[in-house]
Amino acid sequence: MRFSPSFLDEIRDRVPISDVIGRRVTWDRKKTNAPRGDYWACCPFHGEKSPSFHCEDRKGRYHCFGCGVTGDHFRFLTELEGLSFPEAVQQLADMAGVAMPQPDPQAERRERERTSLLDVMEMATQFFQDQLQTANGAKARAYLRDRGLTGRTIETFRLGYAPESRNALKEHLASKGIAKEQIEACGLVVHGPDIPVSYDRFRDRIMFPILSSREKVIAFGGRAMAPDAPAKYLNSNETELFHKGNVLYNFTRARRAMSGADGAGTIIAVEGYMDVIALHQAGVENGVAPLGTALTENQLELLWKLTPVPVLCFDGDGAGIRAANRAVDLALPHLKPGRSLRFAMLPDGKDPDDLVRHEGRAPFDAVMGQARPLADMVWSREVNTGVFETPEARAELEAKLKQVASVIADENVRRHYQQEIRDRLNAFLQGQSAQRGGGGRGRFERGGARATGGRPNAQQGPRAAGTGTVSDRLARSGLVKRHQEQATLRESVLALTIVNHPQFLREEYDEIAAIDFDNRELQRLWSALLGATAAAGAGFSREYLLEQLAVQGFEPLLKNLDQQIRNAGLWTATEQAAPEDAREMYRQSLSLHKRTKALRWQKIELEREVAEATEAEDADRIDQIMRALQEVQLEIIRMENQEAIIEGFGVMSGRVKGPAFKRS
């Protein structure tokens, strides 16, 4: 009887290979690391005194470094015990609790059809690869070059190009004798009862083949070349071959890389195709990505099959923080002893692609080195979202944390989380009590430690709140380019006002610490400023801050900011401004700054909704979202063309001598 690959894969997935082999060998206690699924023993195939026989649950494979024997679950039973292959399948199916398939002509026919569909997908992949090298693919090649990808990387990931023509792929496959029904079953064309003539699903897009665990192409992701395309990224629809929530991009390649030195036994989940590819080119080959959607339970289980503690790496912006929190909620019910997650949050406005392309691998490795345990993410999420100055607020915090721990299904893990929460909460509340007894200093000092109950936290500071990255198309706009290349007048006002009037830090530390600048130099300045104030406690002054910033090399930047402000006539940001004027200018500038960022995030969310609606082929929903998107774009254009930071703020108080507030 012939067994389908999907049936055999199900058995392998359900039964750890260590369970099969462990009944025949004794694991070496010194070399074996059971929580990681890494086992060593004396080889059962040849006599030896020191263990050189190795098996890994995450790979489902064994190998002896002495005699060279290697194989999987089935081969172990057939070669060691002399079972026939059907007998080995039967034994393992019993262990897995899976019923043996009955002879089913229809099932066998479906398996043959599935194999045939894989052949069609391979032909489509080759077609897209060939098109990338033609004149039609010139702009796609230029785009990939601009993204820093080498020819070798493009070939490794088999990137291609789908022509603009509505029928290029369909006609190519038809010329090879592929039936219309097969092309439709692969999801390569858009078809249906209300579509008279089917047409290519992917047009004028860079193509990313998506592979199964057996390294067969089962779907595609397409990145639009046209800036006005409704969906920047488009995935294949659900087919016999492809179920989006069960697949991770680059899964098999990352699994192989984990056994190498660079893999270090972990897996890193990032947000997009280009992040995975850029990391691979930089030497980080153990990266995977969900397919344009939030991480699913099945994808999380895939990660845990590879390693007990995968690292989830998110962009350091508002969307990244929200995605991290969704992953926290997704993982909590499924935690087990030794099985958890770590979270690596990138600097504001950065994704892995940006980071390694512009700054190399070292900064990314540093981010990975600071990855935080899931328990830290739970704590900081709940504590950073409120002020707990009343008994009622503190009781509410305690209730929230108890509720979070209660969803953990495993009794032992739940008990340890409850103990961890009690310990942190006690330390945190004791610290708050001491601060309330310390008079006016409490509010300022609490800002630096409240997220960790007094523990140092590398994620605190302006970028911990996380809002800053934008989509590629938005990033090319003048609005964002000015933010990235040179500090806008608005950002300069915010920064210099606080430097020149540091008493605002004592009064509104939390709000000021959460300011997230787009300009890279101001990001660095803000980190240094907050670090200097934390080190000084409540006893700092403007002179002290300037001295500390000068030691760290920020004196030229501060001089440039001051010159920019004075050239614009914005005297309210200078040292000579009266506190009332400086405070008013700061508040209005911050309000406009937040509005600008809110518009960006609204635009990003709408673009994602357009992509999802396009995949679902929901025309009414697409129209509704596009109307909202147009309104946001018009508002962004209005903000971009607005020359004054705050319209009409031209009437200066007599307390400051100098030009009136001028348009920048």
Last residue of a domain, one of 398, 417, 449: 449
- Residues 207 and 257 occupy one common structural domain: no
Task: Report yes or no on 648 lying in a domain.
Answer: no
The continuous run of DSSP H or E covering 394 comes out as: helix 391-406
Task: Report yes or no on 468 lying in a domain.
Answer: no
Last residue of a domain, one of 242, 277, 300: 242
Asked whether 334 and 295 are in contact (CB, 8 A), the reply is: no
Separation CA 331–CA 348 (nearest Å): 25
Task: Report yes or no on 415 lying in a domain.
Answer: yes
Last residue of a domain, one of 62, 96, 130: 96
- Residues 68 and 188 occupy one common structural domain: no
Beta-carbon-side half-sphere exposure of residue 599 (alpha carbons within 13 Å)? 19
- Residues 419 and 521 occupy one common structural domain: no
Task: Report yes or no on 457 lying in a domain.
Answer: no
Asked whether 530 and 469 are in contact (CB, 8 A), the reply is: no
- Residues 536 and 630 occupy one common structural domain: yes
- Residues 278 and 217 occupy one common structural domain: no
Task: Report yes or no on 657 lying in a domain.
Answer: no
Mean pLDDT by 10 residues, the chain (664 residues): 80 91 90 89 84 90 88 89 84 89 65 78 96 95 94 96 95 92 93 91 96 90 91 91 91 77 69 94 93 86 87 85 91 92 87 87 90 92 83 90 93 93 86 58 33 36 34 38 55 87 78 77 82 68 86 87 81 84 80 76 76 76 82 72 41 34 35
Coil, strand or helix at 442:
helix
How many domains are there within the chain?
5
- Residues 359 and 264 occupy one common structural domain: yes
- Residues 518 and 596 occupy one common structural domain: yes
- Residues 113 and 229 occupy one common structural domain: yes
Task: Report yes or no on 89 lying in a domain.
Answer: yes
**Residue 353: both structure tokens together:** 């692609």
- Residues 531 and 598 occupy one common structural domain: yes
pTM equals 0.56
- Residues 234 and 199 occupy one common structural domain: yes
Separation CA 301–CA 285 (nearest Å): 20
Task: Report yes or no on 68 lying in a domain.
Answer: yes
Separation CA 131–CA 208 (nearest Å): 13
Q: Closest Cα partner for 466 from 589, 355, 319?
A: 319
CATH number at residue 341: 3.40.1360.10
Which residues fall within 8 angstroms of residue 168, CB to CB, at 6 or more apart?
Answer: 131, 162, 200, 203
- Residues 401 and 545 occupy one common structural domain: no
- Residues 195 and 52 occupy one common structural domain: no
CATH number at residue 625: 1.10.860
Task: Report yes or no on 455 lying in a domain.
Answer: no
Q: Note down the domain range covering 27.
A: 5-96
Other beta carbons within 10 angstroms of residue 312's beta carbon come to 25
CATH number at residue 214: 3.90.980.10
